[in-house]
């Protein structure tokens, strides 16, 4: 069995510390914790491989820009024969306050009740939309890292493509271990277990 964890962001040093790149930041820390080398480059992706018992997994960052994240998801899911509901996506979520995060599990075939909470809030994420469009499904697990939302007169793009403030960086750092733990629980146990542990 192969599973996939994606961290979303924009490639390039100029975007490194932007709010929109928190998925990259968390995935890099997760790779370090799990001892996975992120050094394989294929088809506009960079990824590393790991093993946990009989399960293999990939940690991946798309090297497309955010709006084309789905290309990387589709390529890797097709190439490695990964089911959509075995994909976990870590991304920046404007619908969640800074210092919080939210786990939305994929619905499994044996889950007769399904996932009744909305996949996203009113502020949509272009990387998530690209993945949904490319996979022709929204049935993947999401871990939305809260970045807050723009001021009333601030353009969304300007907000996303700006660096975190010092206070925001501190809040993200304070919860980064919990986000990584949630991602590991989702990967190695189940997304529902991660949701039950961490969602308010």
The secondary structure of the chain, three-state, reads: CEEEEEECCCCCHHHCCEHHHHHHHHHHHHHHHHCCCCCEEECCEEEEEEEECCEEEEEEEECCCHHHHHHHHHHHHHHCCCCHHHEEEEEEECCCCCCCEEEECCCCCCCCCCCCCCCCCCCCCHHHHHHHHHHCCCCCEEEEEECCCCCCCCCHHHHHCCECCHHHHHHHHHHHHHHHHHHHHHHHCCHHHHHHHHCC
Angle between helices 166-188 and 22-34 (to 10 degrees): 50
Tokens of 15: 């975007």
Report yes or no: 117 and 103 within 8 Å, Cβ to Cβ. Answer: no
Q: Which of 18, 20, 52, 125 is catalytic?
A: 20
- Of residues 92, 173, 84, the one with CA closest to residue 134: 84
Q: Establish whether 52 is a catalytic residue.
A: no
Catalytic residues: 20
């Amino acid at each position: 069995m192969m599973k996939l964890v994606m961290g979303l962001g924009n490639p390039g040093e100029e975007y490194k510390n932007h709010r929109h790149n928190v998925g990259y930041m968390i995935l890099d820390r997760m790779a370090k914790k799990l001892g996975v080398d992120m050094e394989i480059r294929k088809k506009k992706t960079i990824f590393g491989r790991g093993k946990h018992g009989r399960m293999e997994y990939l940690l991946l960052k798309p090297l497309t820009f955010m709006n084309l994240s789905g290309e990387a998801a589709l390529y890797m899911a097709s190439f490695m024969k990964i089911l959509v509901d075995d994909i976990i996506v870590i991304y920046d979520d404007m619908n969640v306050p800074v210092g919080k995060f939210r786990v939305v599990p994929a619905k499994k075939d044996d889950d007769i009740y399904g996932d009744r909470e909305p996949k996203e809030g009113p502020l949509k994420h272009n990387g998530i939309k690209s993945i949904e469009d490319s996979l022709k499904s929204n049935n993947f697990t999401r871990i939305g890292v809260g970045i807050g939302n723009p001021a009333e007169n601030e353009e969304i793009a300007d907000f996303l493509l700006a660096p975190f403030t010092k206070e925001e960086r501190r809040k993200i750092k304070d919860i980064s271990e919990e986000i990584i733990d949630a991602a590991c629980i989702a990967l190695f146990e189940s997304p529902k277990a991660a949701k039950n542990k961490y969602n308010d």
